[in-house]
Amino acid sequence: MRGGALLILCMVASSGGAIAQTNTDPAMMPAPGPPTQTLVDKGREQFHRTCAQCHGRNMVNSGTTSYDLRKFPTDQPDRFFNSVTNGKNSMPSFSGALDPGAIQWLWAYVSTRGGKEM
Ligand code: HEC
C-alpha cells in the first residue's frame, strides 16, 4: 500500500533520523544496467532529504559555494561515490549516514541530468 509506506517515510523523516536510512529490502537494492525510474525516484527523494539543503532543490544552485551537480560528469561514477562517501573540503562525508545502495540511487538521480543544465 503506497500511501502507508509514504506515511512511514514522513514519520521517519520528521523524527530527526532523516539521514540515517538503512534499507535491507533486497527489492530496493541497485540493479545492474541503466537506472530504472524507481531508482531515479528514490534518488530524488534521498537527494531532497540529505543533499538539497546545500545543492539546491532539483540540483539547482549557482555553483558558487556548493558544486553544481547538474554539471557532474556522467562518466565518473567512481568520483561521485568517493566524494559522497568520504566528503570533499566543505562537503561532509556520508559514509556513516548512507549505505551504498542509497548512494547508488543518488547516482541514478544525479546522472539523469546528463552533465547538462536544463
Ligand atoms: C553541508 C553542505 C553539503 C551537503 C549536505 C552536501 N554537499 Fe555535496 N558538496 C558541498 C560542497 C561545498 C561541495 C564542493 C566541494 C569542493 O569541491 O570543494 C560539494 C561537492 C559535491 C560533489 C562534487 C565532488 C567532486 O568530486 O568534485 C558531489 C558529487 C556532491 N557534492 C554530492 C552530494 C550529495 C549526493 C549529497 C547528499 C548525499 C551532498 N553532496 C550533500 C556541500 C554539501
Question: 49-89 pLDDT, tens per residue?
Answer: 999 999 999 999 877 889 999 999 999 999 999 999 999 99
With both helix axes pointing from N to C terminus, report the angle between 37-50 and 100-111 in degrees, rounded to the nearest 10. 100
Q: What homologous superfamily does CATH list for 32-118?
A: Cytochrome c-like domain (1.10.760.10)
Residues with CB under 6 A from ligand 1: 50-51, 53-55, 65-67, 69, 72, 79-80, 83-84, 88-92, 94, 106
Nearest CA to ligand 1 atom 22: 67
3-state secondary structure of 53: helix
Phi, psi of 5 (to 5 degrees): -65, -40
Nearest CA to ligand 1 atom 9: 91
User: Cβ(108)–Cβ(35) under 8 Å?
Assistant: yes
Closest ligand 1 atom to the C-alpha of 88?
Answer: 15
Q: What is the pLDDT of residue 27?
A: 53
Phi, psi of 98 (to 5 degrees): -125, 135
Q: What is the pLDDT of residue 35?
A: 74
C-alpha cell read off for 66: 556548493
Question: 16-35 pLDDT, tens per residue?
Answer: 344 444 555 555 555 556 77
The Å distance, Cα 29 to ligand 1 centre, comes to 23
- Of 10 and 1, more confident: 1
